[in-house]
Amino acid sequence: MATLMEEVDLLRRVPLFAGIDPGKLKLLAFASERLSYDNGQNLFRQGEVGESAYVIMGGKADVIVETGDGEIPVAELKENAFIGEIAILCDVPRTATVRAKSELEVLKVKKEHFLGLIADFPELGVEVMRELASRLSKTTSELSDARREIDALREAG
């Protein structure tokens, strides 16, 4: 079991939290819950209400989008990844399922604690926006590439 200071050190390694005062990170770590998941177990499912975000402390997880044709893995997450923030920032259902790809250790950060940290550190809000904009840019690029491939297959077929 990790100590509080080990959890603070882990939070400090998450790029999003790197510039946050260590005292605030200590409060966040203290208020957060450490959880373990087995390989194949879901942290959360697409469509669920999100009341927490998670920091991966160890292990790997897959981000999966559920479609009418089945599940599509869209990303693999590793240690220091911060996930689940879209649902708590935007008050929308989870946009994807996150499933443990190995034994997984996470720190569960409640919505109110994360939003409080953003209120205390506006620069964190800017970093969150940058991260989300980067993900959106990557997704848009991947969708454009997929669209070109589909168009090319249609023209060839």
Distances (CA, A) of 101 to 23, 34, 59, 98, 108: 33, 18, 8, 9, 18
Whether pLDDT at 151 is above 80: yes
Beta strands in the chain (DSSP E): 33-37, 42-44, 52-58, 61-67, 70-77, 82-83, 97-100, 104-110
Q: Which residue has the higher pLDDT, 13 or 39?
A: 39
Q: pLDDT over 70 for what percent of the chain? A: 99
Write down the residue that tokens 């879901």 correspond to.
42
> What's the pLDDT tens digit per position in 104-149?
999 999 999 988 888 888 887 888 888 888 878 888 888 888 889 9
pTM, rounded to two decimals: 0.81
**Average pLDDT, rounded, for the chain:** 89
Domain assignments of the chain as residue spans, ordered by start: 4-156
The third-level CATH classification (topology) of the domain covering 4-156 is Jelly Rolls (2.60.120)
* Residue 118 pLDDT: 85
CB 107 within 8 A of CB 82: no
Whether pLDDT at 54 is above 70: yes
Distances (CA, A) of 20 to 17, 56, 98, 104, 136: 5, 18, 26, 25, 25
Q: Which residue has the higher pLDDT, 142 or 96?
A: 96
Q: Which of 71, 63, 78, 80 is nearest to 139 (CA)?
A: 63
* Residue 1 pLDDT: 57
Q: What is the dihedral of CA 129, 51, 15, 62, to 10 degrees?
A: -100
Which of 23-32, 44-53, 141-150 holds the top average pLDDT?
A: 44-53
* Residue 20 pLDDT: 82
